[in-house]
Amino acid sequence: QTQYRELPDATRVAPPIEKTVAPGDKYLPNIVILATGGTIAGSAASSTQAGYTSGQVTIDAMIAAVPDAKKLANIKGEQISNVGSQDMSFDIMLKLANRINELTKSNAADGIVITHGTDTMEETAYFLNLVVKTDKPVVLVGSMRPSTALSADGPLNLYDAIAVAADPEAKGHGVMLVMNDQIHSAQSLVKVSTTAVQTFMSPLRGIIGSSAYGHNEFYRIPHKIYGANSEFSVEGVKTLPRVDIVYACVDMPADLIDASVQRGAKGIVIAGVGNGNMTKAALDACQRAVQKGVVVVRSSRVATGDIGRNVEVDDNKIGTIASYELNPQKSRILLSVALLKQRKPEEIQKLFMEY
């Protein structure tokens, strides 16, 4: 069953944080920034060139670039990695999840900010939404322009992310992304532009709030299961099972699906055309994969819309699972985490409807 939770007061507007807590106030929240790299930590040789390298600047330098954030919280930085998020790995993601769980269990952190590249932010955000065991705010932030750029967007994004993580009203919203004045839920956000500052959208569900210069408003609680209510755990987990994504297209080579099975994938996500469709040959290959015990999820290469069960494909006959709201990259994350435990296909299908 999908769980719904009520906003304590849906009409409430959070007061600007800097007016409610003074610098040095003993109630100033403790915010830990876990830095992983990305363009927000990127640098270029000049302020106007398009080319740059992600993951160059340290967390201490990034914190120094937003001195006013000290009025919002006691801030500590930890460098988890310093990579462009194209190089994000399950290894770093597991390290991040375990560190968040450790920090939020105690008073060491009232909220967490994670600096991260935007390319794979969807995946890390959604992964953490499944496996982080806290109601405290966990906020991802990135930028589209490197730290050295003219009109760099990183410092204000970081300031707003700290303001959201420090806001008691942010509790219980699961993992969030704060960029360009908007607060997104990890479940609904997608990256939609390769270069524009306004790169994140939540096309199916809408944003969950806004944050501008530390003034936060929360519109709604995300509708799915996450955080302390999630049944998933990565405690003691060293790696995740292999799940491949196969991209569907006109006249697609169906043997890519067989190859994936031969290579030992435990799950396959099809980035289908339309409502998770694919050629007859590919459907036959999916059926062969299912018969060998591989879990096959039908998602879509289309940017928005549900992928429902038995719409054009007979999932009951082929044994496939419909991804509902999850795009291929998020479906892969949910399936990888789900496959940490023995689960029946119908149980996995239910997870795709609930998470």
* Residue ranges binding ligand ASN (CB under 6 A): 38-39, 54, 84-86, 117-119, 142, 144
Q: Among residues 177 and 307, whose Cβ is nearest to ligand ASN?
A: 177
What is the nearest approach in angstroms of ligand ASN to the Cβ of residue 83?
7
What is the nearest approach in angstroms of ligand ASN to the Cβ of residue 16?
28
The two structure tokens encoding residue 315: 């999932």
Angle between helices 328-338 and 345-354 (to 10 degrees): 130
What is the DSSP code (8-state) at residue 338?
H
Q: Among residues 177 and 273, whose Cβ is nearest to ligand ASN?
A: 177
Contact between 122 and 100 under an 8 Å Cβ cutoff? The reply is: no
To the query of whether residue 39 is one of the catalytic residues in this protein, the response is: yes
Contact between 73 and 158 under an 8 Å Cβ cutoff? The reply is: no
CA distance 336 to 316: 22
CA distance 252 to 217: 46
Q: Which of 104, 118, 120, 134 is catalytic?
A: 118
Which is it for the CA torsion 76, 172, 170, 141, positive or negative?
positive
Q: Among residues 88 and 296, whose Cβ is nearest to ligand ASN?
A: 88
Q: Among residues 142 and 328, whose Cβ is nearest to ligand ASN?
A: 142
Q: Which of 36, 39, 199, 320 is catalytic?
A: 39
The two structure tokens encoding residue 352: 């795709």
What is the nearest approach in angstroms of ligand ASN to the Cβ of residue 148?
14
What is the nearest approach in angstroms of ligand ASN to the Cβ of residue 118?
4
Q: Which residues are annotated as a binding site for substrate?
A: 85, 118-119
Q: Which helix (H) or strand (E) element contains residue 165?
A: helix 154-165
Strand partners, 210: 182, 217
Q: Which residues are annotated as a binding site?
A: 85, 118-119
Q: Among residues 144 and 271, whose Cβ is nearest to ligand ASN?
A: 144
What is the nearest approach in angstroms of ligand ASN to the Cβ of residue 152?
11
Contact between 222 and 187 under an 8 Å Cβ cutoff? The reply is: yes
The 8 Å CB, 24+ separation contacts for 179-182 are 179/118, 179/141, 179/142, 179/143, 179/153, 180/153, 181/210, 181/211, 181/212, 182/207, 182/209, 182/210, 182/211
Q: Among residues 85 and 320, whose Cβ is nearest to ligand ASN?
A: 85
What is the nearest approach in angstroms of ligand ASN to the Cβ of residue 9?
35
CA distance 29 to 204: 33
Residue 218 backbone class (left: φ over 0; alpha: ψ -120 to 50; beta: rest)? beta
Q: Which residues are catalytic?
A: 39, 118
